[in-house]
Amino acid sequence: MLKIFFASLLSSLALFAGQGTQEQIVINYFESMNQSPPLSTERLLVIQNEIYNKIQLNEDKLRLIKDKSGSLIEKWQALLQVILPIQMDVIKAHNLGDNQSGLSKFNEEYARGSSESGALSELNTEKWLFIFNKTFGVTEFKEISLQAAQSLIAEIAEEMTSETFLTQIDRVINSLIPEASLIEKRQAVLTILFPLHMSVMERHGFNGEVGYIQAQRAIMDYHHDPQIAQRAAHAQSVVFRRAQLIQ
């Protein structure tokens, strides 16, 4: 939150930097972003409900993605074109900004709130299950242990933050025009991020495109775990900064 697991989980979500607690990481994040105090649970629910409702209103667009031929990467790119503008419109309407930093702020706060509120966690899971079903037709999932989820995320985060992968990001971003939009940059990053994710996930028993979706769902059960949240947040931050999605 992937966040897309990593964008939204973000999920969606800094790797033992200073070995601070998850609360300290959130505080440091807001201080570095020069943002207002954390949002209340009630407001987070309102915003996420608006996002989910607008996604449901675009169910026909999600079904079109599922019915079209194409690779998983192409379908995820098409999905981004549907859900990212919705997210941006909603957070802008709530005065949280209209760029990647604003969306990241919301995702970070939502992750914090979800660790304390079952309603927030359940709503986010419901939203993504809807997206997985309507966009990819995946409704069957398998569970993994917390230890297995921690191992999977640790391996993905390590590879995402390696200089080898970051150099690939440099190449794909530098190939774009200077005026490239947020969506275009994120789509470009996806072309190299998906193969990395799928390679690691296959080593953990999640094979192919369906396995990728199943892994995303399995990890959702543990995104409040401090180790998973911190590693995912660090990897996302490093990649987004290298891709010039955030300052």
Mean pLDDT of 191-197: 91
Count the domains in the chain.
1
Tell me the percentage of the chain whose pLDDT exceeds 90. Answer: 38
Residue 216 φ then ψ, to 5°: -60, -45
User: What's the confidence (pLDDT) of residue 246?
Assistant: 76
Task: Classify residue 16: in a domain, yes or no.
Answer: yes
Domain assignment present for residue 48? The answer is yes
Percent of the chain surpassing pLDDT 70? 83
Domain enclosing residue 162, as ranges: 5-242
* 122 lies in some domain: yes
Average pLDDT over residues 146-152: 93
Query: What pLDDT shows up at residue 70?
Result: 85
Mean pLDDT in the chain?
81
Residue 20 lies in a domain: yes
- Do residues 222 and 146 touch, judged by C-beta distance below 8 A? yes
pLDDT tier for residue 69 given thresholds of 50, 70 and 90: confident
In a domain, 247, yes or no: no
Q: Of 57-61, 68-72, 189-193, 205-209, which gets the smallest average pLDDT?
A: 68-72
Lowest mean pLDDT across 88-102, 161-175, 197-211: 88-102
Model pLDDT, residue 29: 42
Give 102 or 247, the one with higher predicted confidence.
102
Query: Residue 27: pLDDT above 80?
Result: no
- Whether residue 53 lies inside any domain: the answer is yes
The answer to whether the pTM exceeds 0.75 is no
- Is 185 inside any structural domain? yes
